[in-house]
Amino acid sequence: MKKTALITGASRGIGLAISERFRRAGVKVLAPTRKEMDLLLNESIDEYLLTLKAPVDILINNAGINILAGIAELSDGVMQDTMQTNLLAPLRIVRGIAKGMIKRKYGRIINISSIWGEITKPKRVTYSMSKAALNAMTRTLAVELAPYNILINSVAPGYVNTELTRKNNSVKEISAIKSGIPLKRLAEPEEIAEFVEFLASNRNTYITGQVIIIDGGFICL
């Protein structure tokens, strides 16, 4: 039977690559726009989930924001928007989707995290907090949902060749980043998508509660 996947943040970057990979694998993809489901608004999330007609077998919490700010300049808005988008909205979506998965005793949930949930650097306090908490959510729910054959994992990419990476780093900085990665290059979104597709498929029968880092060896140094 054809599976249905809900993917947030699927208009570009990693999310787009995941949606394209899933479609090629024969998965029906639901990719709401911000107008259809605004992650900053709880009522928008709830309203969108109520519109779903088919059961969701796979949930990919991919959407996220990373606004760089030092602690002295960190605004309430950045704190609130980052935690809402990167942590609270994914939790809310899982809460809405998991009910059906529990009933059917099947589900695959992948949270797109980041190496910055495991390590960090200046000006990323809210982003690192949100991703570390997302990983804690993954581990906790993996234990809770395991009896229902629901597998949940975090995928934590390092530097990926996306618009967000280019926005937060100059050409010179990206060159320096590449030199600091053992594989000497950025990951491509398709490389992340390939592993996400495996975790979401029936080929994955035992991996749950894990934070899987895909960074070309960056944090090994």
Active-site residues, by number, are 127
Q: Which helix (H) or strand (E) holds 24?
A: helix 13-24
Helix axes 125-145, 89-104, angle to 10 degrees: 10
Dist. CA 15–CA 48, nearest whole Å? 19
Report residue 30 as tokens: 């639901």
Cβ atoms of residues 141 and 109 within 8 Å: yes
The sign of the torsion formed by the CA atoms of 71, 73, 75, 79 equals: negative
Number of residues in the chain: 221
Give dist(CA 179, CA 186) in Å, integer. Answer: 10
Could you write out the DSSP letters of every residue in 69-121? --GGG--HHHHHHHHIIIIIHHHHHHHHHHHHHHHHT-EEEEEE--GGGTS--
